[in-house]
Chains A and B, each alone.
Chain A
Amino acid sequence: MFYRQSGVRHNSYSSDRDLFPIPADRYALWFFLALGIAAPWLIDGLYLNSYMLPWLLWTAAALGLNLLTGWAGQMHLGYAAVMAVGAYSTVHAVRFGIPWEFALLIGGLSSSVIGSLFAVAALRVKGLYLAITTLAMQFVMDWVLNHSPAISGGSHASLQSPTFALLGQDITSDAGLYYVALGWCVLVTIFLLNMRRTGLGRALVAVREKDFAAAILGVNSFYYKIIAFATSSFIAGVTGAILVATFYFLASPEQFSVNVSIQVLAMVIVGGLASIIGSYFGAALILLMPGIVNGLFAGFADMVGLQFGPETLAHIPNAAYGALIVIFLMVEPMGLGKIYGNIRDYLLVWPFDQMKK
């Protein structure tokens, strides 16, 4: 009914591979993109830059990790460390006098190099062992950041980020910074959408599902794992750099500590492995839910006239938020992306359910 498939015909193999063959999907996409572009006029500047902007950037980060964990099936617990590499090299490059465009590229590439270097060592092991190896990488990076003032910016271990600028224009306005985040998130999304329909995506899934079958088809699984690590690290590095440039305004080690790695992994898993829209949902849930649950709970307490101590007020929302994640994963282990997919599949035939195959 809502996602009408009638009239969708393909005359060529390339149209059969269109990203969104069903018109309703395309309309929804344009609608949300328009909303995203109009957001600075619709949303108050404070909300725009403290909720929308980080949401988009963490979505880009989650998509990068999803490429590695969801598509290529490689566990990574040191993702924040890779983001740190990109952030620090970019900020240092800009302070050295390199324009932001190239500095971001340098940040992405250095993340890519370091991420794949670790991968070469890590890929001799699989599964849980790989998880622990990447976790070790996180701790090594934490230690390096905390113990090398040359990188982390002296005794306070914080590094001021110069004013963000693109094409010679300083970007300082709320809307400008937000558009940078939106642009990057859209670029990463487009890349992943394309990856789903090319040989690269197929090869990554092959490596994830059955490496012996991949090998017999000529897929060099080691090579593709490295490609996955390098690409996901590049996305991580640039995202980390933009995050520092547009949101934190200064880089410090605790922004990229181990719990950040776990949080990004949680976004990917709650959103759904190998699901693009899921990463948007996952990032939103992990990032925005604590605040929303907090507000709801405080409102509820006010309404029924209960008095809670500040400790209870701080802890109950946390517990509720944790429970929410558990409930979502119990209802649908494939994540929020799959829940969306189920609803969409239902509406595909609604109200003619009997015609479901």
Chain B
Amino acid sequence: MNETIPKTANSQAVGDEPPVLECIGVERRFGGLVAVTGVDIEIRKGEIFGLVGPNGSGKTTLTNAITGFYPPSKGRIRLDGRDITGTAPHKVAGLGVARTFQNLALFNGMSVLDNILLGRHIHMNPGVVRTALYWWLARPEEVANREIVEEVIEFLQLESIRHELVDGIPIGLKKRVELARALVAEPHLLILDEPMAGMNQEEKEYMARFILDARAERGVSVLLIEHHMDVILGICDRMLALNYGEMIASGIPSEVVKDPGVIKAYIGDGHAG
């Protein structure tokens, strides 16, 4: 596998530690349809790994396989050296995987603050008795987690909207709230499914900076699905291109985007070469 994907260009990656995420020959079928097949990924600590591909190429299916929504039909998935193939989503979250969704999955009836606090769920221990005796049992835990949440709120500059209902804020901020919710879980691996879809250039730059800062300050490894090639080129250490569920190119972004197969898949035949 190390022969196919060259060593990272990222100076922060540590060579000796086990990779944060390892996918080996992952395949997922829906009946006769092969959504993803033979995908190998290795994400090292502190790395931002890009995943690109035309619509329907299996990017989201792959993330769903990793997070346990669609267990792979074949292949293994390892997180921090531990096999998590087929583990239920809520357990995968507990093991240190956080993700955001392409179409946003915020809880609209709740405030921004409550949404982000839910990101702390795996670190909290809510219960009926604790709730009944809030003043004695639940309050210390709530306040301690609130402090961590506030750090992230400050980091992502969400202070002014923390008490707003999620329903009423613009989409660029919603994406940021979702990133905040994923970050407060203190994940080892952060999966971002098109975090910049529908954003303008300025919002995109903000988001790219937040992702870079999150890595620098929190040491999180990122699997980034994106269609914006400028973003991939700008912040990813390595990348993988999928087409019809198969790997067509992988390696350092500046080289992958020159790959004739990638250009053909993305733009069409006429522009290749």
Contact = CB atoms under 8 A, between A and B. Distances in A.
Interface in B104-140: 105-110, 114, 117-122, 124-128, 130-132, 134, 138-139
Contacts of B47: none
B146 A194 contact: no
A209 interface: yes
B86 to A, nearest CB: 14
Contact of B89 (A14, A206, A216): A216
B142 A199 contact: yes
A342 interface: no
A212 B110 contact: no
B89 A212 contact: yes
B48 to A, nearest CB: 20
Interface string B81-110: 000000011110110001101000111111
B143 interface: yes
A1 B127 CA distance: 38
Interface in A212-228: 212-221, 227
Contacts of B90: 214-221
Which bucket holds chain B's interface residue count? 35 or more
Contact of B94 (A218, A221, A231): A218
B69 interface: yes
A66 B152 CA distance: 33
A13 B118 contact: no
A217 B105 CA distance: 11
Chain A at the B interface: SS class: helix
B139 A203 contact: no
Contacts of A218: 90-91, 93-94, 121-122, 185
B150 interface: yes
Given A194-B131, A221-B90, A231-B128, A206 B122 contact: no
Contacts of B120: 199
Given A17-B142, A203-B118, A217 B93 contact: yes
A275 to B, nearest CB: 12
Contacts of A17: 139, 142, 146
Contact of B69 (A199, A212, A214): A212
A210 interface: yes
- Most chain A CB within a 10 A radius of its CB, from B69, B125, B131: B131
Contacts of A220: 90
Contacts of B99: 216
Contacts of B131: 191, 194-195, 198, 200-201
Contact of B121 (A13, A209, A217): A217
B67 interface: yes
A338 interface: no
B147 interface: yes
Contacts of B127: 200, 227
A38 to B, nearest CB: 27
A14 B185 contact: no
A126 interface: no
Contact of B108 (A198, A209, A231): A209
A14 B139 contact: yes
Given A205-B107, A216-B101, 14 more contacts: A194-B134, A199-B120, A200-B126, A202-B126, A205-B114, A212-B89, A215-B90, A215-B93, A216-B89, A218-B91, A218-B93, A221-B90, A231-B128, A274-B109
Interface of B: 67-69, 88-91, 93-94, 98-99, 101, 105-110, 114, 117-122, 124-128, 130-132, 134, 138-139, 141-143, 146-147, 150, 181, 185
Interface of A: 12-14, 17, 190-191, 194-195, 197-203, 205-206, 209-210, 212-221, 227, 230-231, 274
